[in-house]
Structure 1
Amino acid sequence: MSTAPLTDPAVLAARRAALSAPHMAPLAEFAAALRRATGLPVPDADPADGGVRARLLLLLETPGPSIDRSSLVSRDNPTPTGGNLRRFLAASGLAREEVLIWNAIPFVIHAPGARNRAPRRAEQARGLALLPPLLDLLPRLAVAVLAGRAAAAAAPVLAAARPGLPVLRMPHPSPTYVCTSPEVPRRIAAVLAEAAALLRGGRSAAA
């Protein structure tokens, strides 16, 4: 797909309206509570994905500076990272209804107009403290994929909240990382294939 779906105002309006759907309403309420508690922008999860019915949590790092275009954490955002996510997830065979995409630091850390930057330690700690209440909304969760260094820091939180949950780590799908080496896209594809195998109840792709 050459054009990101959320560049279409009608598609974006339909996604925003779907935040009240049963699979999304608890997550929309959660994001709204975070906005009130932090006083910061917190984008919503994408209603085109699995919502509270998701079996796979794909945890990215932070909302990018351009997130206000859609206010959704989505593979369909008109960004280079969104384009890579669409490509890798489509190739993995993971069904959209199985996946929830979220951020380890769910609130925007960038000043208006500023470029993307790595989260500070205090921001990372604050974001990870907000992860357990999200997990409480995901009763079917069967595997988590942590994308990037900041997301990888969520592993102990996931282990404490969901003992025994398979947790996989992969590079972040940002072009900043994907373009550094052919090994990076291969690693991303392999981890997502392993996650898909786990959901099917098959053997790990890394086995």
Structure 2
Amino acid sequence: MLEDEPSVQPLRAFREELLARRTRRHPGAVVPDFDPAEAGVEARALIVLEAPGPMSAGPDGSGFVSVDNDDATAASTWTLRDEVGLHARTLVWNIVPWQLDGAPDADEVRQGAMELRRLLPLLPDLRVVVNAGTAPTSGWKKNIEPYLVDGPTVIDSWSPGQRAMSQPRKRDELKRAFERATHLVG
């Protein structure tokens, strides 16, 4: 099974440690796993979304942060990646990696960004990060960027969520961000 691939194991361990940290302060926290069909620790591109939706973390969800989930955000992400050929060596994660009841507040974004900082050393080949949305962009700029030296190229863009993708200009801008990431991945 894909979950047993060596490139996935460090991320599964990371997620388990994150879940343990989170549930100490927030019993019942839900943190979906990385999609084992993605690049794992071999990722060169990281797409950072806002937070897990119900189709990744809810009772009917897959249990994974995945472009294969049955929701509009996953569908838009998959479609745009497919249009530009951004498949190989790519990983999707969230600035707030646990399920929320609504939009994240500044403290949740800060806490999530601290977890994302812990993830980055597990991705030694990372060349580009696409922050897809307002929360990922602000979380990166305030809580990750100041601590990086010689980090990956960062591209800020729109969320692949239904509201933003219903606006052709925002969809086109996210597609261009994915195109740029495709070129940087090589």
TM-score of the pair, normalised by structure 2: 0.89
Deviation of 1:159 after TM superposition, in Å, equals: 5.3
Equivalent of residue 47 in structure 1, options 11, 36, 61:
36
- 2:64 corresponds to which of 69, 72, 82: 72
- The DSSP-based 3-state class of the residue aligned with 1:22 is coil
- Seen in structure 2, the aligned counterparts of structure 1 residues 128 and 164 have a Cα distance that, compared at 3 Å, is closer
**CA RMSD, Structure 1 to Structure 2 (Å):** 1.4
CA distance in 1, matches of 2:146, 2:70: 33
Tell me, yes or no, if structure 1 residue 99 matches structure 2 residue 90.
yes
Q: Which runs of 5+ in 2 are unaligned?
A: 24-28
CA shift in 2, pair 1:94/1:159, >3 Å: farther
Moved more, 61-70 or 158-167: 158-167
- Give the Cα–Cα distance (whole angstroms) in 2 for the partners of residues 70 and 164 of structure 1: 31
Identity percentage over the alignment? 31
* Equivalent runs, 1:149-160 vs 2, <5 Å: 149-153=134-138, 154-156=140-142, 157-158=144-145, 160=147
Distance 1:24 1:170 in 2: 27
Q: Are residues 158 and 47 of structure 1, via their aligned partners in 2, closer, same or farther at CA, if it must alter by over 3 Å? A: farther
Aligned 8 A contact 1:159 1:165 in 2: no
Contact 1:155 1:167 in 2 (8 A): no
Equivalent position of 1:124 in the other structure: 109
Q: Which runs of 5+ in 1 are unaligned?
A: 1-16, 111-116, 201-207
CA separation in 1, counterparts of 2:73 and 2:185? 24
- Verify the 8 A CA contact 1:147 1:169 in the aligned structure 2: yes
Residue 26 of structure 2: aligned partner: none
Are the equivalent residues in 1 in contact too, given 2:156–2:177 (CA < 8 A)?
yes
Q: Which amino acid aligns with 2:64?
A: L
Instruction: Tell me the alpha carbon deviations over residues 34-67 of structure 1, each in whole angstroms, 9 at most, x when there is no partner.
Output: 1111011111111111000000011001001332
Is the 1:145–1:170 contact (alpha carbons within 8 Å) kept by the matching residues of 2? yes
Other structure's SS at 2:122 match = coil
Query: Contact (CA 8 Å) 1:59, 1:103: kept in 2 or not?
Result: yes
Deviation at 1:162, TM superposition (A): 4.5
What is the match of residue 4 of structure 1? none
* Equivalent residue for 1:62, pick from 39, 51, 54: 51
Aligned length in residues: 176
Query: Do structure 1's residue 83 and structure 2's residue 75 form an aligned pair?
Result: yes
Q: Supply the distance in 2 between the matched residues of 1:106 and 1:99 (Cα, whole angstroms).
A: 17
Aligned 8 A contact 1:132 1:161 in 2: no
Give the TM-score of the pair, scaled to structure 1.
0.81
Deviation at 1:173, TM superposition (A): 0.4
Task: Name 2:100's counterpart in structure 1.
Answer: 109
Q: Deviations over 1:66-118 (max 9, x none)?
A: 323101000000111111111001011112x31010000111122xxxxxx21
Q: Contact (CA 8 Å) 2:7, 2:41: kept in 1 or not?
A: yes
